[in-house]
Structure 1
Amino acid sequence: MKTIPVQLKSKDYDILIGRGLRAQIGTEVAKVWSKRKIALVSDKNVAELYLKEVHQSLEDAGFDVLDLVVPAGESSKSLAQMGDLVQQMADAGFTRADGVLALGGGVVGDLAGFTAASYMRGIAFIQVATSLTAQVDSSVGGKTAVNLKEVKNIIGAFYQPDLVLVDPDFLDTLSDRDLVEGYGEVVKTSVLHGQDFFALTGKIKSVQDIREQAEELSIHSIRYKAKIVMADEKESGQRQFLNFGHTFGHAIELLSHGSLRHGEAVSIGMVMISQRFEAVGITEKGLTDEIAQRLAAVGLPIDSDLVGTPLFFKHIVNDKKNRGGILNLVAVKNVGEPVIVAKALDDMHDFV
């Protein structure tokens, strides 16, 4: 088992990574939480596979567990779904001394995390990441949010967990597509991190390679993200680098109306924004092709006709990185050299 510490001004916590951790969830939670009620939040797909064993593990460790299962998919990241969770917790008598445990991928982590941040102005929170997206990215760093209609992650909070558990064995039950969409975030991090990690993703040529290297990919990804979060918890500086590919990606994801997964949209976003920055001399020539090759090798999409449409620009305006009509876009000059490029919204039509 690998332990990666996150040390912030407000709190410290550990990220535990290792095969077999799912059998020790109750034991590990009991090391950081006193006996209490736990709202165990999961989605229907994950719950069918793992809820019973995790519930039992927590009960065996002395916790009083309330199962809360939401529909699978992005539609669960809503104020209505959050309100339903809050109501069930209130009906069960949850207090500030209790906690929320997210068992699932990015959607469950975001929803459960924001519920924990909001319930009685904040109760304890733990992440058990079951998807590759969550294991390499979304479970770390304290970003929690829900969507409002078609505006993604517009309501949320920075709210750090008390513990994150990452067991690559959970990935065994993911479909290839669900696994591969998380790999988009891995490639993103490898471009930002530097040559060692970028060389590792260059060796991934198949879905099976991802499965076999999942633990190593998580360790590299989380180490980098933890370092960034510790330096810039609230995204006022270098944490913005983690948005590489996301400005285009979020707009594409929303316009696809569910036909694209998050990591697939980010994959497209990274390639298409890098093409533009390469054309104006900010990104080193040839880097876009190297990124695209890593993504295409495992079947991730790398282009979309949705980029540049009127609705695309409408979604760009609602991007959280819009600061008074200025978008902070992330470019990568070369591997390990991300930069922020400020671009006026009025100039985006010519840029795209």
Structure 2
Amino acid sequence: MPEITVAIPANETSYALKIEKKLLNKVGKEIAQIFNGSKIMVVTDETVHGYYGETVLNQLKTAGYDVQCIVLPPGEQTKAFSSMPNIYSQLIEFGLTRSDLIIALGGGVVGDITGFAAATYLRGISFVQIPTTLLAQVDSSVGGKVGVDLPEGKNLVGAFYHPKLVLIDPLVLETLTDLSFADGMAEVIKYGCIKDEPFFNLLMDLSSREEVMEQIEYIIEKCCTIKKEVVQADEKDTSERMLLNFGHTLGHAIEAYYNYETYSHGQGVAIGMVELSKIAEEKSLTKSGTTEKIISILEKNHLPTKLAEPRDYAKILTYIKKDKKNFEGSLNVILLNEIGQAQKLKTNRQFFDALKTGGTTN
């Protein structure tokens, strides 16, 4: 029979991450360097819009762009597939074409849902990330993962779709609540856990949010550099990039079980890192004492290290079977050999069985 081969050259993707205090006051100039179209839709949420919406919109208008804004309710509940038709309708009403641009101004929820809209509207339109939370600045705005949640689990619908530019202004972190700041620190700590023991030790020596902010540019740059290197080695999350999911398998299940209302992403990941390390230590897969170090640094950053209702684990674990890291009946779990060294373990849901009776031993 006839056989035709379709060979498509690999898509060469490259974009800049710019980290600078007061960068938000230069948005118009920065966008002008990478976009010469006419229309820009800014997507943000009510909280961020109150702080920075006017600044960004005025910057873009001054640069000569025709600008409109979509303002979403804040919170993980917004990052649902059911939110997409309204977003698409507003993009269509504005007359946005493939030659135009979308800007995500906000935290991880805004960045993820805006990126997914950009990836799917007209089969792809350029977008820019302007992350305004610590979590988004060090993690979710980098690497091209975009998507939305389903009732069955987190990030089950999405795409790999990179922005044209990421603009990071550390000064916007000053308006974060302590809860939101701590949320981001969970991801910061994760980077030290999986890839960089000296960085982990530096974070351990910082005793307050104020001390973190004194070194915030270095901290953001370090996290983004680690993620850049991992993503460049494995864009589609099939090998090396999975290391970034340390604590996330259980963390995502915790978030989903409580309908994204009881535990934030960072809190879920914090608990996930601890419980996973406890199990791994008990199985002699992780160096003894590692969990104690993780608990210490998380508590210093006001993050939970255990579930308030451990008996809920029996039901929480049912969400793990829906996790994206399930492949061919196996589950890829990320463990630490020790602080700064992570590995991927191919196992199954039974790995978490110790949690069914109310959590691991303390």
Using the size of structure 1 for normalisation, the TM-score is: 0.95
Contact kept in structure 2, 1:133 and 1:181, CA below 8 Å: yes
Contact kept in structure 2, 1:331 and 1:338, CA below 8 Å: yes
User: Structure 1: 5+ residue runs without aligned partners?
Assistant: 1-7
**Match of residue 330 from structure 1:** 334
**Match of residue 92 from structure 1:** 94
How far residue 36 of structure 1 moved from its aligned partner, in angstroms, is 2.2
Deviates more, 1:71-80 or 1:115-124: 71-80
> How far apart in 2 are the matches of 1:301 and 1:347?
22
Deviates more, 1:311-320 or 1:156-165: 311-320
**Match of residue 30 from structure 1:** 32
**Percentage of pairs with the same residue:** 39
Q: Secondary structure at the match of 1:284?
A: coil
> How far apart in 1 are the matches of 2:66 and 2:311?
48
Q: Indicate yes or no: 2:320 matched with 1:316.
A: yes
How far residue 310 of structure 1 moved from its aligned partner, in angstroms, is 2.8
What is the letter of the counterpart of residue 143 of structure 2? G
What is the letter of the counterpart of residue 74 of structure 1? E
**Match of residue 76 from structure 1:** 78
Contact kept in structure 1, 2:249 and 2:272, CA below 8 Å: yes
Q: How does 1:114-153 map to 2 (within 5 A)?
A: 114-153=116-155
Q: Deviations over 1:86-134 (max 9, x none)?
A: 1111011111111110000000000000000000000001000100000
Q: Deviations over 1:125-178 (max 9, x none)?
A: 100010000011000000001011241111000000000011111111111111
> How far apart in 2 are the matches of 1:314 and 1:76?
23
Deviates more, 1:94-103 or 1:189-198: 189-198
Q: How does 1:63-212 map to 2 (within 5 A)?
A: 63-212=65-214
Q: Indicate yes or no: 2:231 matched with 1:255.
A: no
> How far apart in 2 are the matches of 1:281 and 1:170?
43
Q: Secondary structure at the match of 1:263?
A: helix
Contact kept in structure 1, 2:153 and 2:253, CA below 8 Å: no
How far residue 348 of structure 1 moved from its aligned partner, in angstroms, is 3.8
> How far apart in 1 are the matches of 2:165 and 2:72?
22
User: Structure 2: 5+ residue runs without aligned partners?
Assistant: 1-9, 357-362
Deviates more, 1:26-35 or 1:102-111: 26-35
Task: State the number of aligned residues.
Answer: 345
> How far apart in 2 are the matches of 1:271 and 1:192?
13
Deviates more, 1:274-283 or 1:334-343: 334-343
Q: Secondary structure at the match of 1:338?
A: strand
What is the letter of the counterpart of residue 75 of structure 1? Q
**Match of residue 237 from structure 2:** 235
**Match of residue 5 from structure 1:** none
> How far apart in 2 are the matches of 1:346 and 1:324?
15
Q: Deviations over 1:204-224 (max 9, x none)?
A: 222222333222211110000
> How far apart in 2 are the matches of 1:106 and 1:269?
19
Using the size of structure 2 for normalisation, the TM-score is: 0.92
Contact kept in structure 1, 2:313 and 2:355, CA below 8 Å: no
> How far apart in 1 are the matches of 2:102 and 2:310?
38
**Match of residue 21 from structure 2:** 19
Residue of 45, 65, 69 corresponding to 1:43: 45
Q: Indicate yes or no: 2:295 matched with 1:296.
A: no
**Match of residue 4 from structure 1:** none
**Match of residue 267 from structure 1:** 270
**Match of residue 347 from structure 2:** 343
Q: Secondary structure at the match of 2:47?
A: helix
Q: Would the alpha carbon gap of residues 77 and 301 (structure 1) be closer, same or farther in structure 2, given more than 3 Å must change?
A: same
> How far apart in 2 are the matches of 1:170 and 1:156?
27
Q: Deviations over 1:52-100 (max 9, x none)?
A: 1100101111211110000000111112212111111101111111111
> How far apart in 2 are the matches of 1:104 and 1:69?
10
Contact kept in structure 1, 2:153 and 2:252, CA below 8 Å: no
> How far apart in 2 are the matches of 1:82 and 1:162?
22
Contact kept in structure 2, 1:42 and 1:70, CA below 8 Å: yes
**Match of residue 277 from structure 1:** 280
**Match of residue 3 from structure 1:** none
Q: Secondary structure at the match of 1:190?
A: helix
What is the letter of the counterpart of residue 270 of structure 1? M
> How far apart in 1 are the matches of 2:310 and 2:225?
34
Q: Would the alpha carbon gap of residues 323 and 103 (structure 1) be closer, same or farther in structure 2, given more than 3 Å must change?
A: same
Q: Secondary structure at the match of 1:165?
A: strand
Q: Secondary structure at the match of 1:333?
A: strand
How far residue 10 of structure 1 moved from its aligned partner, in angstroms, is 2.5
**Match of residue 4 from structure 2:** none
